[in-house]
Structures are given as C-alpha cells and as structure tokens.
Amino acid sequence: MRALVVLCLLAAVAHAQGGDKRPIVGFQVKGDSKVRDTTLGYLAHVHIGDPVGADDLPRLEEALISSELFETVAVALQDAPGGYTVVATVEDKLSWIIGPTIYFLPSNRAIGVGFAENDLGGRDQKLLLYGQLGTKTSIFFATFLDPSYHGSKLQYRADVYLERRQIDEYANATRTDFDVARTTEETFLDAGLLVGWQFQWWLVADARLRSAYVYFHDSIDPRTSMPATKPQQDGWDTTLQMRLTLDHRIHNFGVTSGPYAQLLIEPTVPGLDTYGYLQSQLRAYYSWVFFDEHQLELRTIGQFGYHLPVHEENALGGVSDLRGYAGDQFRGDQLGVFRAEYSVPMFRVWKLKFRALGFYDTGITAFEFPRADRDYLPNQLGRTWIRNDVGLGIRAYVKAVVLPLLGIDLGYGIEGHSPEVYFELGLTDF
C-alpha cells in the first residue's frame, strides 16, 4: 500500500513537471509590440488545438527569438476554458529601417538607399524597396512577401527587379591573369509573382513565374578598345522557378544553428521565351553552435545548366561564393561550391555586437552543354576552373535591428595570389 502511494505521488510530480498538456485555445501578445495575436502562433510554430505544457515554453521562446522580430521574449500559459492561452510578453526590434548602403567590392563600387519593413502591419509581412548606383552594377528592386495569407499555409510574393550591369568576361589565360577579354552592357527588366505552400514551419514549396526583357549593347575588347561581337541576342527571358525549401535553422541574435536545403528547377516557358534553357540548383547548409556563441557553418552549392544564355551563366568569383577573385571571373554551365566559415564573438560597443570569422572557399565551374551560338572566346569552352581562397572577416549587428549592418572580408585567392577586400555597409550579402 505504501509503495502504491509513493508511485502515485511520483506520477503526480512527473505530470506537473511535464506541463499538464492541454490544447491551445488562443494567443495573446503583451508588451511593446505590434505583432497581432493571430500572428503569434505562426511565429511560435504552433496552432489552435495543439497540445502544450510547461515543458514546451523554451521551445516556443526559441521559435519567437528565431523570427528575429523581438529583442526580448517571455512566454507563459494562461488557463482558459478548454485549454491554455499562449501569452507572449515581447519587446519588438525596430522592424523597419531606412538607410544608405555603401559597397566597395572588387567587381563594383556602389552607393544606394533602401527601405526594409520586416513586420508590416504586425503580420510578419515583408516589404523591401532598394535602389543602387554602381560603377558596374546599378539596380532597383521592390518586393512584398506575405508568408501566411490570412493566417493560412498559403504564401505569396510579388517583385520587380531592374538591373543595368557591365558583364566582364575574363581571358583567364594563366592562373594569375585578370585581364578582361570582353565587356558588355546588359539591361535586365524583370517582374515576377510567387505562390507557395507551407507544409511545416520548416518545409515550403513554391512556384514563381517571372519574365524579363533583356538587351545587350556596347560590347568591346578593353585590351584594344575595339568593338566586339555582342554575346547574345536581345529578347524575352521567361521562366517558371519551382523550389522546395527545408529551413530548420534557429537564429539567435547573429548566431545560427541547424540545417537548410533548397532545390530549384527553372525551365523556360515555351512560346514566351527567346532563349530556351534549363537552370537548376541544389543548396545545402548546416550550422553548429559551440560555447554558446561560436558558430561553424558549412555550405555546399551545386548548379546544373543547359544551353544557358550569357546573363544566366553559372559564374564563379565574388562575395557570394569565391572571395579572393573578381566577380564572375570564371564562367560555365556546371558549378560546385563549398564553404567553411567559423565565427566567434568579439566585443560590444553601445548596441553594436561585433563578430570575427575565418573562412575557406573552393569552387569549380565548366561548360558541358554550351549554346550553339556561344562561339566567341573559344578558349573558355572545354576548360575546367578550380579555385580556392582563405580569409578573415568582421560582422557587426545591432540587436534592435533585424538585419546585420556591416561586413568586411579580406579574401586571398590561393591560385591567383590575389588578396581582395570586400566592404558592405547597409544591406549585407555574404
């Protein structure tokens, strides 16, 4: 009898520590926040009717912090008829920002201004307007994203992208050759509409129909200043982008952990397109956190293209894949990239949080299925480019702002013996 009483007491204690699971019947937001009650469940990755208990509170707080909308988060369960109300007391980050951008990159010097709203109307909707003038690339783009239409699993995005850039095609005669064999001005006028479905908070499938008019002019050989053959005919570039994205990462004020993978398949649309090509991409990232704030991230990217026009070629070189080399220095239709990056906390100044990082990048690209009309610069075909780099960098974050605001990298191209500095202030893209 005594043993039975003890077992009953232990069961009662375990039940209490397990959190007395009950269904969620509502959500409530408290504190200095514009997030709506109806948005809270989406951000916390739970829904009406899901069973929760006290032991779920750390998971809910982690999800809300990972949304990168809040400076502080505290979650509690409040008794309600039929279950619990999830009550979150939060303090918002500054969800919007208007500011200048400055870029000093090997392939471009640019200034711009942008407006970013990360929580429009308290519904986690995103709005971005940005314009940039550069020595080689000038752009304007506007995009609006609703990740949960009226609280459902349906999401949509509309965007406009206008670009004028100088396409440099490098001779690459030797490993240390940085001569440009031809330069062409390209204008790209694009608009698109995306519709997606969220199967789980970490798994989304979407399709985007986009169409752009592309034209080329002022092709020259800068070594002789003589006119060169235009690389591609002008025309319509219309494709259907289909993506499957797995994003199980957790973000915690500049430190990320967990997996990310995305598969993209992008064929052109017959009858609406001039170029007739196929593009595909597979990305896989994984991040680990050590000692609370140390982060190791590994990235792999593979791209397969078929009959790609010059403005869609899978190029290698620059801040996004191969630091230490000029932007898009090596061209092909097949591409592979691997990156390892380790970052550590440095210090805090006022509200700025600085992190240092070391990195290694390696990439390979080659032409396997070139277009029949790509008969210029014949030495670029039938060659495989493999390049590596190492380097150091600094990032600066403001806890009250959603986006990292400063990035500086020094990359050294091993084969090219080429140090390059990358400076981005405003909207960073490393």
Full pLDDT tens readout for the chain, 430 residues: 444 433 343 333 334 344 589 999 999 999 999 999 999 999 999 999 999 999 999 999 999 999 999 999 999 999 999 999 999 999 998 888 898 999 999 888 999 999 999 999 999 999 999 999 999 999 999 999 999 998 899 999 999 999 999 999 998 878 888 889 899 999 999 999 999 999 999 999 999 999 999 999 989 988 888 998 888 899 999 999 999 999 999 998 889 999 999 999 999 999 999 999 999 999 999 999 999 999 999 999 999 999 999 999 999 999 889 998 988 999 999 999 999 999 999 998 887 889 999 999 999 999 999 998 887 676 778 889 999 999 999 999 887 665 667 899 999 999 999 899 999 998 776 6
Question: Would you state the pLDDT for residue 127?
Answer: 96
Question: Would you state the pLDDT for residue 429?
Answer: 65
In 3-state terms, what secondary structure has residue 57? helix
Domains of the chain: 16-92 (3.10.20.310), 96-425 (2.40.160.50)
Question: Would you state the pLDDT for residue 398?
Answer: 80
H/E stretch holding 62 reads helix 57-66
Question: Would you state the pLDDT for residue 79?
Answer: 95
Distance CA 194, CA 155 (A): 8
CA separation, residue 369 to residues 56, 230, 284, 302, 314 (Å) = 52, 20, 24, 16, 12
Q: Which residues contact 391 (CB under 8 A, 6 or more apart)?
A: 323, 324, 358, 359, 409, 410, 411, 412
Query: Among residues 328, 311, 108, 333, which one has the least CA distance to residue 216?
Result: 311
Question: Would you state the pLDDT for residue 378?
Answer: 66
Question: Would you state the pLDDT for residue 350?
Answer: 80
CA separation, residue 396 to residues 93, 292, 301, 318, 355 (Å) = 16, 18, 26, 20, 6
